[in-house]
Structure 1
Amino acid sequence: MSEIRTPLAVHRTVLAVDVRGFGDQGRNTPAQVAVRAGMYRALERAFRAAGLSWRECHREDRGDGVFVLAPAETPKGPFVETLPRALVTELRAHNAKHPPAEQIRLRMALHAGEVTFDDHGVTASAVNLTFRLLDAPAVKQALAESPGVLALIASGWFFDEVVRNSAALDAATFRPVRVAVKETDTVAWISLPDHPYPPAAEQAPPAEEPPSPAPAVTMTATNSGRGSIYQAARDQHITER
């Protein structure tokens, strides 16, 4: 879909996905073509199953992934309530019919914010943050260690505004992680839609007070929810003060 170009920033839900191991030696060009076709087919079908309009979204190809901007009037809930499970279903159906080199496992990042369109595409700090989340070592590790096909990472804003307020989700199955990639240093939240973390007994506090500069830590919280990297950062900050 072509967006109307305007010098004014407009609000969008920002979604990006990336295929794990797309450039592995075991994937030749025909395998990569099959993976890309399967990825797009899975996304289109998952959007439809989630009640989201793929056609009305602005989309940009990233070779081993896709970048999507949903219109401001599109509800954000389905992006975490129904889209991930629908995408898991489509990915599993694809993988069941294809050899290992053509199978797909995805990372997905979610955020929202103001973006500006120009003659070449879009630009915004919200877009930059989404791609930093997608590249975070923590979400790559989460997917590598999961037997599932999808790992989701949501920004702190998306978690606080959408996940925490959803009647269809258990926010306690998300885990906080520190994301320190390039100029970004923030707290985000990871979930594994097809192999969810057990509900945490205690959730880390919201990222209202940023931690003091410290060596980047990218491990997820323990299954019990205690000892999260965010809580550790807060404890260190308190001690140093």
Structure 2
Amino acid sequence: MGRREPGLRQAVHRSIVVVDVSGYGDARRTSGHRLVVRHALYQALRRAFADSGLPWKDCRHVDCGDGVLVLVPPGTPKGPIAASLPRALVRRLQHHNARHRAEEQLRLRMALHAGEVVHDEFGVTAPSINHAFRLLEAAQVKAALLTSPGPLAVITSAWFHDEVVRQTPSVDAAAFRPVEVAVKETRAIGWLTLPGSPAVPGQA
């Protein structure tokens, strides 16, 4: 009996938000600590989305163990993702960290992108999703978060920066700096910012 190949699926344009917990695998964390971290991560995301007027319950969430892939519904304005979401997330992270021991605190890297996403019976796939994850793994993002007093480092794709960040009046585009991303097969320019940090990335 021949193997049945999957049929061609229609792609849908989605905004893509990926977050990753820095130091999740640190040996000082126990399984109990990681359960607290995972619960706090989802709680912070849900509340930050609500604070930003973004429909968390209508998003698709893919758990990554030490992070989350969030696909925002088509038609949802992208401006709040760039303007409100990072600030709201910083507030939620600061609130959590002030009340928990070091092993249960959260410091996050976040990547913002958008593109055509295909769904199948197993989940989702798209070059745009791969690109967002590559941005998240950029060495410059990890280094920036490591030296930042704030709990969040954000990198956007060049497309997201040009089409959303620079076109949204409530976003301070001057707080972003370009970085060269070289991860696996990806060679690209991303735009890095540290919301909640008193230092502008370009001046660090």
For 2:159 and 2:16, locate their aligned partners in 1 and report how far apart those are by CA, in whole Å: 12
Q: What's the secondary structure of 1:46's corresponding residue?
A: helix
The amino acid of 1:78's aligned partner reads P
User: Alpha-carbon deviations, 1:157-197, whole Å to 9, x = none?
Assistant: 00000011111012111010000101100000000010154
TM-score by length of 1: 0.80
Q: Which amino acid aligns with 2:117?
A: V
Following the alignment from structure 1 to structure 2, what is the Cα–Cα distance between the partners of residues 57 and 38?
Answer: 18
Structure 2 gaps of 5+ residues are 1-7
In the other structure, the counterpart of 1:161 is 163
1:196–1:164: structure 2 CA closer, same or farther, 3 Å change rule? farther
2:95 corresponds to which residue? 93
Q: Distance in 1 between matches of 2:15 and 2:186?
A: 19
The question of whether the paired residues in 2 share the 8 Å contact of 1:191 and 1:197 is answered with no
In 1, the alpha carbon distance for the partners of 2:93 and 2:111 equals: 17
- % of aligned pairs identical? 54
Letter in 2 for 1:37: H
Q: Secondary structure at the match of 2:106?
A: coil
Q: What amino acid does structure 1 have at the position aligned with 2:167?
A: N
Structure 1: any 5+ residue segments left out of the alignment?
Answer: 1-5, 199-219, 225-241
Provide the C-alpha distance between the structure 1 equivalents of 2:193 and 2:64, rounded to a whole number of angstroms.
23
Separation in structure 1 between the aligned mates of residue 107 and residue 29 of structure 2, nearest angstrom = 14
- For residues 43-192 of structure 1, what are the structure 2 equivalents within 5 Å? 43-192=45-194
CA distance in 2, matches of 1:97, 1:169: 29
The 3-state SS of whatever aligns with 2:167 is: coil
Deviation, 1:96, is 1.2
Structure 2 partner of 1:223: 203
Change (3 A) 1:186 1:196: farther
User: Could you tell me whether the CA contact under 8 Å between 1:173 and 1:196 is conserved in 2?
Assistant: no
* Runs of 4+ with >2 A deviation: none
- Aligned-pair CA distance for 1:97: 1.2
Partner of 2:4 in structure 1? Answer: none
- The alignment yields a C-alpha RMSD, in angstroms, of 1.5
The answer to whether the 8 A contact 1:31-1:102 is kept is yes
Equivalent residues of 1:174, 1:197 under 8 A apart = no
Q: Secondary structure at the match of 1:55?
A: helix
Q: Aligned AA for 1:76?
A: K
Looking at structure 1, the residues matched to 48 and 166 of structure 2 have their Cα atoms a distance apart, in angstroms, of 23
Amino acid at match of 2:203: N
Distance in structure 1 (CA, Å) of the matches to 2:176 and 2:198: 8
Give the alignment's TM-score, normalised by structure 2.
0.94
